Amino acid sequence: MDEAIRKVGYVGLGIMGEPMAMNLLKAGNAMTVWNRTPGKAETLVGAGATLADSPAAVAAEVEVLFVNVTDTPDVEAVLFGEQGVARGAEPGLIVIDNSTINAGATQDFAQRLAGQGVTLLDAPVSGGDIGAQRGTLSIMVGGPEDAVAKVRPLLDVIGKSITHVGPVGMGQVCKSCNQVACAGALMGACEALALAKRNGLDLDKMIEVVGAGAAGSWQLSNLGPKIAADDHAPGFMIDYMLKDLAIVADLARANQLPLSGAALAEAYLRAVAAQGGGRLGTQAMGQALERLGAFTFSD
């Protein structure tokens, strides 16, 4: 099929999905959308999107259907629930899952959809809500080459860097690798800041000189100044990172691979969440670590 895709669906209009759907709409696609809370579709409908009654109804209308929901069971419900995508899909439909979920479950979902001629691509993203709004996301795509080629023009609308990393499920494996590297660099940056602060070192000077060398990372350069300023506003919320690190832990467990660094970062973030900080940005780990060495037991 050489015709450009024109009929596109988007299911899951959260902080990420809504701006991604809007960018697809602005690019000239006929958008049909669905969200569990219909109110969240208002802006899109106002801009010309059609609100459907169910994921099945979206699937019946479109050539390509994006899904962007929280976790593995949510994707399963959207795909295979009573009014799910599988109920409305015609053979030839391509489903692109932008959620971050379990890689093994993704492969299972793909197999079940293949039975009715539907192709599933996993395409988790990195770059946060700002990246979603600006269409500058990094997208890690798993799935068959021909389907990826077919939807690439749509992916180019929502992302800046589109990488086809392997067969279906590999997008999710790559996203897990991303969160593991993130967790290590975040923990290194937070511990470095805690050590600096405890010793009265100028934090901005430390971030500058350390960030310029072999210890440099996106986390240190971008979150370090926020940690120094006790600014906990979320770029990426601890609750979401904890969800992703639970997915990492499941994969590592399936692999019988110990990932102790990622597990330690998860434990630190869980401690912050347990103190009511789940909706803070991940950089709140910095203040938590610093306080570990600075509080006083009283009787």
176-205 positions binding its own copies, by CB under 8 A: 176-189, 191-196, 198-202, 205
| Residue list 9-38, contact with its own copies (CB under 8 A) | none
Task: Report the residue number, 11 or 193, with the smaller CB distance to its own copies.
Answer: 193
From the CB of 234, what's the least distance to its own copies, in Å?
13
Window of 20-28, 33-41, 56-64, 259-267 that interacts with its own copies by CB under 8 A: 259-267
| Residue list 56-115, contact with its own copies (CB under 8 A) | 103
Answer positive or negative: Cα dihedral of 202, 218, 101, 51: positive
Residue 297 structure tokens: 């037991």
Instruction: Determine, following the binding rule CB under 8 A, whether residue 258 of this chain makes contact with its own copies.
Output: yes
Which of 1, 213, 296, 298 lies at the binding interface for its own copies (CB under 8 A)?
213
> How many of the other CB atoms lie within 10 Å of CB of 251?
19
Which of 17, 127, 135, 286 lies at the binding interface for its own copies (CB under 8 A)?
127
Task: Report the residue number, 58 or 180, with the smaller CB distance to its own copies.
Answer: 180
From the CB of 140, what's the least distance to its own copies, in Å?
6
Phi–psi pair at 192, nearest 5 degrees: -65, -45
Of residues 26, 40, 175, 197, which has the active-site annotation? Answer: 175
Whether 226 is catalytic: no
User: What does the alpha-carbon distance between residue 223 and residue 219 come to, in Å, rounded to a whole number?
Assistant: 5
From the CB of 48, what's the least distance to its own copies, in Å?
31
Yes or no: say if 59 and 6 are a contact pair by the CB < 8 Å rule.
no
From the CB of 169, what's the least distance to its own copies, in Å?
8
From the CB of 267, what's the least distance to its own copies, in Å?
9
- Which of 81, 14, 56, 21 has its CA nearest to residue 239? 14
Residues of 217-246 as b/e, b for ≥16 C-beta within 10 angstroms? Answer: bebbeebbbbbbeeebebebbbbbbbbbbe
Task: Report the residue number, 38 or 166, with the smaller CB distance to its own copies.
Answer: 166
DSSP string, 8-70: EEEE--STTHHHHHHHHHHTT-EEEEE-SSGGGGHHHHHTTPEEPSSHHHHHHH-SEEEE--S
> How many of the other CB atoms lie within 10 Å of CB of 274?
9
Active centre residues (catalytic): 175
